């Protein structure tokens, strides 16, 4: 063995050590996800206090394992090693970035934040139920103060909110998002106003009685059609739909069923299914490594929204699925044509609640939260003034009057849980999804007719090839350029929206623009 | 503050530190239980390999946390501290015992064992399905070798199997069990032979079609009647019924439903319910401490068997519940009297499968496993010879011919999972249950009539008071003496068996003895 070969062997040993440590951290990390999954799906009520404690303990262990000096030493050695291949080197770079970031957090801060958000989430639930912001105010105050501290701990350039954004969408910056949301405000909000001047769409048949079990079975069929792998996942019920994964071979989704509203279950199934397909498509070999992990929340959301909206709210999808649906719910749908159905499920109408919003007005909800979070982090607005601030923005962008804090500033769990910087990824994801779907249509010439016949595998294969398999090999921006030839460009979303909704609402294109 | 007060304060601080460490270990330990629970109830098939790895990692972490020198130091300090109260002192003694035992295990051994049993359990499942012992042989060989190593790691007096027994039934010894199982062989096996000479009991109505959902609902009703707390637990389906707990406020049970055999679900519900009542009755304040934990598997089994057999297969229990059952399954039971039903559910008949055995021949199944395990640990029998060895013992003690390994040596999961020394606790538990139930009858004068009217709370309260609340405050033997006035005495079981079955089979007592 010559000197070079010897060096390669030592380094490859070190890389294996690194992989071993990462695998152990991932095992703990995914176990925490199971504790949460169980809590949200079946845990009996009295188990809550011990469960919170158990999650806290595991979170502490996972943090300690990750910031261990041994891992740090290995990372620094491997970072200077030219014998690693490109994927290996990328893993080391990304892990080092994560490591240096996590290292910045003092353990006392992590523990204090964890206790504070556990408490404030608990209080938020009660405050929302009681429609009483004052109950929640002091708790939210504490959370916001800690998040401001966190900005300082992490450090930032230009705007403290950049530190928060980076936690969910690495690389996202206020400077870019200001431009993006200006487009939303100028183009999308205006377009929605034009739609609002048109006649109402009839959608009352969606709110008739839809049997629980039949809805459940239909949702499972949709997931199967998407090629969600039920040998590597399952669906359960929960109060709020979500996707979680314990490894790429065990990716679970939840849905909820409202017997008086058929839409809730259906599009949550397709949405969570889209998230799950991404996770099921990650590399099992790279379990625990950045290249075995999703890029960002925005890219994750691009997958769920692509399936939910571009596929699942498209005309072709219901060419494939409407006859089956009609057969199941004959009593509600026998007199509803496919065209009427399609219009009803794409009704655009400004409303109060983010999670019930249509795919266009949705972004006004996000725009509002983006502006508020930015102001909170910069200290430009105080927690006590939030209800008024919130309501004025809903009037401005959505032209709706907020009748109660329950339907206003108290509606989302995010802030109580310390999730500041999370909301923008919903819009970013939607805009990515439009850009990716436009490219998929270009590259899969038969896509439209495939969707019309329920053949969704070619689309999934394209997503697996272009996006899923890479994990964090590329940044969100790099991947977007690699796949579509350009950075995130809001125009793809506007083109999609204008084409689709001008048809539905019979707007002339010049009217629309 | 004087010197004594100062010392008390320091030690009470140390005791709090000890409690804090124990709580963290318990959090990890119970999280492992959740990983198992999920695996056995709903985990999708492809998730198996990663799950085994995750359990292995957590097991390693839990082990390392428990054998940490910091805990060891605290324990040794606190062990010499006279200011602790009796319960505190007992916790320190028991933890120190556990600590010194766990300290003996090298972490690599723990992880190796965990990986080996995960693999061998997986292979066992397939081998049983294929009825092919040779598939399983090498894997079992590895497990047995590790278990023999474990005997050496732990150390033992007289017989290596003592080391294995101590893992499940602290204090149990081959010398004592040899005496106990000689009684089983001499008295119980003979008694069963006498029963066998009597006419057959009609029980075909138990094997008619019993609707899945109605069985499920009936099982839930039985659990409610036992005062199993559904706000601190839930029931799920699994291939093999079991009980698990994540804390006293979250204790879960599983059952299985066979639509062509009503008995499987019913008595598994009552049995697991009995286990669960013990866990729900442990102290929440002492979570993570010995006094918040069950004494031994034998005592645990005494609780499940007491409910399953002494209550659930008793005449009075069905005085209370048979009308309800008859109403549910009118088509099968309308012509079956309570007496006929009672005889059928107590049919004694030698058979091949342990988990389907009646409460008398059951102990021959355990006797056989006890003898085999003892021989395996002593090196008196080799894995390759197990099928033949097994079959000859079934012929000898139960007078049945074993037609396949699937119905023979491959029937139980225990050995594949590394559970050597576990089986005897089933018999020990049954014998304890007879002794405890006899005492309960003495101390609760109305017990019989209470059971006949479905009023089970006084019995539960008695068990809570006499057994559950103490956790590991007393050893199994100490508790037995404290509650019943004497050590485990097989005669209580034989008295119970002879009285009950002489009546059912119309044996004259002199015939029976």
| B138 and B231, same domain (yes or no) | no
Q: Which of A50, A55, A276, A284 to mutate to test the interface with B (most CBs of B within 10 A)?
A: A50
| A179 and A153, same domain (yes or no) | no
DSSP summary character for residue A55: H
Closest chain A C-alpha to B135 CA, distance in angstroms: 25
Of B127, B160, B193, which residue sits at a domain end?
B160
Closest chain B C-alpha to A34 CA, distance in angstroms: 8
What average pLDDT does range B260-270 have in this prediction?
A: 96
CA-nearest residue to B29 within chain A is A54
Q: In what order do the strands lie in the sheet with A250-255?
A: A235-237, A250-255, A243-247
What average pLDDT does range B393-418 have in this prediction?
A: 96
Question: b or e along A422-444 (b: 16 or more beta carbons within 10 Å of the residue's beta carbon)?
Answer: bbbbbbbbbbbbbbbbbbbeeee
Identify the three-state secondary structure at position A243. strand
pLDDT score at B245? 97
Residue B165, in any domain of the structure? no
Residue B38, in any domain of the structure? yes
pLDDT score at B199? 59
| B187 and B152, same domain (yes or no) | no
What average pLDDT does range B138-147 have in this prediction?
A: 98
Question: Residue B145 is encoded by which pair of tokens?
Answer: 């070798």
As a whole number of angstroms, the distance between CA A274 and CA B174 comes to 58
Q: Does B107 touch chain A (CB under 8 A)?
A: no
| A180 and A159, same domain (yes or no) | no
- Asked if the model's pLDDT at residue B513 lies above 50, the reply is no
Q: Which of B88, B169, B272, B371 is catalytic?
A: B272
Query: Does the beta-carbon distance from A233 to B287 stay under 8 Å?
Result: no
Q: Does B220 touch chain A (CB under 8 A)?
A: no
- Pair A196, A350: CB distance under 8 Å: yes
Query: Does the beta-carbon distance from A53 to B229 stay under 8 Å?
Result: no
- Pair B427, B184: CB distance under 8 Å: yes
| A198 and A139, same domain (yes or no) | no
Q: Active-site residue numbers of A?
A: 272
- Total Cβ atoms within 10 A of residue B76: 12
- Asked if the model's pLDDT at residue B511 lies above 70, the reply is no
Q: Does B390 touch chain A (CB under 8 A)?
A: no
Q: In what order do the strands lie in the sheet with B235-237?
A: B235-237, B250-255, B243-247
Residue A416: burial class (beta carbons within 10 Å; 0-12, 13-18, 19+)? buried
Residue B24, in any domain of the structure? yes
Residue B450: burial class (beta carbons within 10 Å; 0-12, 13-18, 19+)? middle
Q: Does A54 touch chain B (CB under 8 A)?
A: yes
Radius of gyration of chain B (CA): 23
Q: How many contacts (CB atoms, under 8 Å) link A and B?
A: 99
Model confidence over A75-86: pLDDT tens digits? 999 998 899 999
pLDDT tier at A510, thresholds 50, 70, 90: low
Query: Does the beta-carbon distance from B57 to A229 stay under 8 Å?
Result: no
pLDDT score at B47? 95
| A453 and A364, same domain (yes or no) | yes
pLDDT score at A107? 81
As a whole number of angstroms, the distance between CA B147 and CA B376 comes to 10
Of A163, A186, A208, which residue sits at a domain end?
A163
**In B, which residues are within 8 Å of A246 by CB distance?**
47, 50-51, 54
Residue/partner pairs of A381-385 with CB below 8 Å, 24 or more apart: A383/A137, A383/A140, A383/A141, A383/A144, A384/A137, A384/A141
Of A163, A198, A226, which residue sits at a domain end?
A163
Those residues whose C-beta lies under 8 Å from the C-beta of residue A205, and which sit 6 or more positions away, are A332, A333, A336, A344
| A210 and A145, same domain (yes or no) | no
Identify the three-state secondary structure at position B261. strand
Model confidence over A135-149: pLDDT tens digits? 999 999 999 999 999
pLDDT score at B1? 63
pLDDT score at A289? 98
Model confidence over A336-373: pLDDT tens digits? 999 999 999 999 999 999 999 999 999 999 999 999 99
**In A, which residues are within 8 Å of B23 by CB distance?**
53, 57
**In A, which residues are within 8 Å of B43 by CB distance?**
250
Q: pLDDT averaged over chain B?
A: 95
Compare CB distances from A27 to B43, B58, B231 and report the shortest one's residue. Answer: B58
A229: left (phi over 0), alpha (psi -120 to 50) or beta: beta
pLDDT score at A512? 47
As a whole number of angstroms, the distance between CA B170 and CA A242 comes to 45
Per the structure, how many domains does chain A have? 2
Query: Does the beta-carbon distance from B44 to A287 stay under 8 Å?
Result: no
Which residue from A244, A242, A272, A291 is spatially nearest to A29, judged by alpha carbons? A244
User: The CATH number of the domain where B321 resides is what?
Assistant: 1.10.1370.30
Residue A169, in any domain of the structure? no
| B441 and B317, same domain (yes or no) | yes
CA-nearest residue to A54 within chain B is B27
Query: Does the beta-carbon distance from A30 to B54 stay under 8 Å?
Result: yes
Identify the three-state secondary structure at position A102. helix
Residue B168, in any domain of the structure? no
Give Cα A335 to chain centroid, integer Å.
Answer: 36
| B121 and B183, same domain (yes or no) | no
User: The CATH number of the domain where A122 resides is what?
Assistant: 1.20.58
The secondary element (H helix, E strand) that includes residue B159 is: none
CA angle A99, A103, A107 (to 5 degrees): 135
DSSP summary character for residue A187: I
Query: Does the beta-carbon distance from B246 to A49 stay under 8 Å?
Result: no
pLDDT score at B509? 54
pLDDT score at B10? 73
**In A, which residues are within 8 Å of B232 by CB distance?**
44, 46-47
Radius of gyration of chain A (CA): 24
Question: b or e along B161-183 (b: 16 or more beta carbons within 10 Å of the residue's beta carbon)?
Answer: bbbbbbbbbbebbbeebeebbeb
What is the reported pTM? 0.92
**In B, which residues are within 8 Å of A43 by CB distance?**
250
Residue B383, in any domain of the structure? yes
**In B, which residues are within 8 Å of A111 by CB distance?**
none
Q: What HEC string does B472-499 produce?
A: CCCCHHHHHHHHHCCCCCHHHHHHHHHH
- Distances in Å between the Cα of A12 and the Cα atoms of A8, A77, A82, B259 are 6, 12, 11, 56
| A208 and A60, same domain (yes or no) | no
What average pLDDT does range A246-252 have in this prediction?
A: 97
Query: Does the beta-carbon distance from A231 to B46 stay under 8 Å?
Result: yes
Those residues whose C-beta lies under 8 Å from the C-beta of residue B474, and which sit 6 or more positions away, are B295, B482
Query: Does the beta-carbon distance from B46 to A250 stay under 8 Å?
Result: yes
**In A, which residues are within 8 Å of B57 by CB distance?**
23-24, 27-28
Percent of chain A with pLDDT over 90: 88
Closest chain B C-alpha to A470 CA, distance in angstroms: 20
- Pair A169, A428: CB distance under 8 Å: yes
As a whole number of angstroms, the distance between CA B44 and CA A232 comes to 5
Q: pLDDT averaged over chain A?
A: 94
What average pLDDT does range A34-61 have in this prediction?
A: 92
Q: Which of residues 242-271 of A touch B (CB under 8 A)?
A: 246-247, 249-250
Identify the three-state secondary structure at position A128. helix
What average pLDDT does range A280-291 have in this prediction?
A: 98
**Enclosing domain of residue B79:** 3-160
DSSP summary character for residue A252: E
**In B, which residues are within 8 Å of A234 by CB distance?**
42, 44
Question: Residue A31 is encoded by which pair of tokens?
Answer: 């176990």
Q: Which of A20, A23, A27 to mutate to test the interface with B (most CBs of B within 10 A)?
A: A27
- Asked if the model's pLDDT at residue B257 lies above 80, the reply is yes
pLDDT tier at A315, thresholds 50, 70, 90: very high
| A292 and A186, same domain (yes or no) | yes
Q: For residue B255, list its beta bridge partners.
A: B237
Q: Which of residues 332-371 of A touch B (CB under 8 A)?
A: none
**In A, which residues are within 8 Å of B230 by CB distance?**
44
CA-nearest residue to A247 within chain B is B50
pLDDT score at B212? 97
- Asked if the model's pLDDT at residue A1 lies above 70, the reply is no
As a whole number of angstroms, the distance between CA A303 and CA A165 comes to 20
pLDDT score at B429? 98
pLDDT score at B510? 53
As a whole number of angstroms, the distance between CA A438 and CA A424 comes to 22
Which residue from A309, A281, A266, A294 is spatially nearest to A437, judged by alpha carbons? A309
pLDDT score at A21? 97
- What is A325-337 written as a DSSP string? HHHHTHHHHTT--
Q: Does B31 touch chain A (CB under 8 A)?
A: yes
State the first-to-last Cα distance of chain A, in angstroms, to the nearest integer. Answer: 70
**In A, which residues are within 8 Å of B233 by CB distance?**
44
pLDDT score at A201? 84
Q: Does B27 touch chain A (CB under 8 A)?
A: yes
- Asked if the model's pLDDT at residue B339 lies above 90, the reply is yes
Residue B304, in any domain of the structure? yes
Query: Does the beta-carbon distance from B229 to A50 stay under 8 Å?
Result: no
Query: Does the beta-carbon distance from B47 to A234 stay under 8 Å?
Result: no
- Distances in Å between the Cα of A327 and the Cα atoms of A214, A324, A333 are 11, 5, 8
pLDDT score at B27? 97
The secondary element (H helix, E strand) that includes residue A120 is: helix A107-130
Q: Strand locations in B28-117, DSSP E?
A: none
| Tally of CA atoms within 13 A in the half-sphere of A299 that contains its CB | 26
Compare CB distances from A34 to B27, B38, B249 and report the shortest one's residue. Answer: B38
Q: What are phi and psi of A254, to 5 degrees?
A: -125, 160
Q: What is the ipTM metric for this complex?
A: 0.92
Q: Which of residues 403-422 of B touch A (CB under 8 A)?
A: none
Query: Does the beta-carbon distance from A230 to B44 stay under 8 Å?
Result: yes
| B185 and B61, same domain (yes or no) | no
Residue B356, in any domain of the structure? yes
Q: Does B24 touch chain A (CB under 8 A)?
A: yes
- Asked if the model's pLDDT at residue B275 lies above 60, the reply is yes
Question: Residue B453 is encoded by which pair of tokens?
Answer: 């009217």
Which residue from A138, A40, A26, A82 is spatially nearest to A471, judged by alpha carbons? A26
Q: What are phi and psi of B158, to 5 degrees?
A: 70, -60
As a whole number of angstroms, the distance between CA A310 and CA A314 comes to 6
Closest chain B C-alpha to A286 CA, distance in angstroms: 12
Q: Does A446 touch chain B (CB under 8 A)?
A: no
Compare CB distances from A46 to B28, B61, B232 and report the shortest one's residue. Answer: B232
Q: Which of B23, B29, B56, B61 to mutate to test the interface with A (most CBs of A within 10 A)?
A: B61
Q: Does B287 touch chain A (CB under 8 A)?
A: yes
């Amino acid at each position: 063995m010559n000197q070079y070969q010897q060096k390669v062997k030592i380094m490859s040993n070190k890389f294996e050590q690194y992989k071993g440590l990462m695998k152990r951290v991932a095992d703990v990390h995914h176990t925490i996800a199971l504790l949460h999954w169980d809590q949200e799906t079946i845990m009996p009520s009295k188990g809550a206090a011990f469960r919170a404690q158990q999650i806290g303990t595991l979170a502490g262990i996972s943090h300690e394992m990750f910031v261990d000096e041994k891992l740090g030493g290995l990372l620094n050695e491997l970072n200077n090693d030219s014998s690693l291949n490109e994927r290996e080197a990328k893993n080391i770079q990304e892990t080092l970035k994560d490591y240096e970031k996590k290292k910045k957090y003092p353990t006392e801060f992590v523990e204090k934040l964890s206790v504070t958000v556990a408490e404030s989430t608990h209080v938020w639930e009660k405050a929302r139920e009681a429609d009483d912001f004052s109950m929640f105010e002091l708790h939210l105050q504490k959370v916001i103060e800690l998040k401001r501290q966190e900005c300082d701990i992490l450090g930032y350039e230009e705007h403290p909110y950049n530190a928060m954004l980076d936690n969910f969408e690495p690389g996202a910056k206020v400077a870019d998002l200001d431009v993006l949301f200006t487009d939303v405000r100028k183009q999308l909000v205006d377009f929605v106003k034009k739609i609002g001047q048109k006649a109402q769409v009839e959608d009352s048949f969606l709110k008739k009685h839809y049997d629980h079990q039949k809805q459940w079975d239909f949702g499972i069929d949709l997931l199967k059609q998407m090629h969600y792998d039920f040998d590597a996942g399952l669906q359960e019920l929960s109060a709020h739909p979500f996707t979680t994964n314990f490894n790429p071979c065990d990716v679970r989704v939840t849905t909820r069923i409202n017997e008086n509203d058929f839409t809730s279950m259906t599009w949550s199934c397709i949405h969570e299914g889209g998230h799950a397909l991404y996770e099921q498509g990650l590399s099992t070999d790279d379990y625990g490594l950045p290249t075995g992990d999703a890029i960002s929340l925005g890219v994750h959301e691009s997958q769920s929204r692509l399936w939910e909206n571009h596929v699942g709210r498209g005309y072709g999808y219901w060419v494939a699925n409407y006859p089956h649906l009609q057969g199941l719910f004959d009593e509600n749908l026998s007199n509803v044509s496919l065209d009427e159905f399609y219009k009803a499920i794409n009704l655009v109408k400004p409303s109060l609640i983010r999670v019930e919003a249509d795919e266009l007005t949705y972004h006004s909800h996000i725009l509002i939260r983006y502006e508020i979070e930015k102001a909170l982090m910069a200290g430009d607005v105080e927690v006590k003034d939030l209800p008024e601030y919130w309501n004025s923005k809903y009037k401005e962008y959505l032209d709706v009057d907020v009748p109660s804090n329950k339907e206003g500033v108290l509606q989302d769990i995010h802030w109580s849980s310390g999730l500041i910087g999370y909301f923008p990824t919903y819009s970013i994801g939607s805009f990515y999804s439009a850009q990716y779907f436009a490219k998929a249509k270009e590259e899969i010439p038969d896509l439209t007719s495939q969707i019309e016949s329920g053949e969704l595998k070619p689309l999934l294969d394209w997503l697996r090839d272009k996006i899923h398999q890479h994990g964090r090999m590329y940044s969100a921006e790099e991947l977007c350029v690699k796949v579509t030839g350009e950075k995130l460009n809001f125009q793809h979303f506007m083109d999609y929206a204008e084409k689709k909704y001008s048809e539905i609402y019979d707007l002339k294109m010049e009217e629309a623009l």
